[in-house]
Structure 1
Amino acid sequence: LVVNPIPKEEALPYKDIEKVIDEALEEMKKAGVKGKEETPYLLSKLNELTKGKSQAANEALVINNAKLGASIAKHICRELYED
């Protein structure tokens, strides 16, 4: 298990995002969205309610995870193939 936080400059304050998540969940419930449609609905609604900030945060997290994964792979390769 590898844990990698979102870069601080891209993170949304918990107190702000918590309210937005609660609002999005309530709207999803009212709209009757269920099953496999929940995640796309919530991501879209969060993006709308945060004016794109949640999507930017998710993109930063994906990029940061890719960087960490590449770094881990590089170090493993060095250990395995170093003469």
Structure 2
Amino acid sequence: CLLWRNGVFVVDGSAINLFAKPGLYGETFYDQKLNYSLNCQLVIMPHNLLIVDYTLGQLGSFHNMYTFQNTCIAKN
């Protein structure tokens, strides 16, 4: 992304708790806080809070680094 190349950006992720265990592959949604959740992660520029990338829907059991690797910024 030309907006941040050779610059600084911030990545912040949050777990979105699910009401109940999903029926298919439910255990993979189980996170370290003992909840069933999905991951939401934003990549922002700290000086103007511009969101330059995001990812939604990764399993709650996935590590933040794995989730970041699925953003467009990490792939390009």
Q: TM-score range by the shorter chain?
A: under 0.3
TM-score, length of structure 1 as denominator length: 0.25
Structure with greater Cα Rg: 1
Which has a greater percent of helix? 1
Structure with more contact order per residue of length (Cα contacts < 8 Å, sep ≥ 6): 1
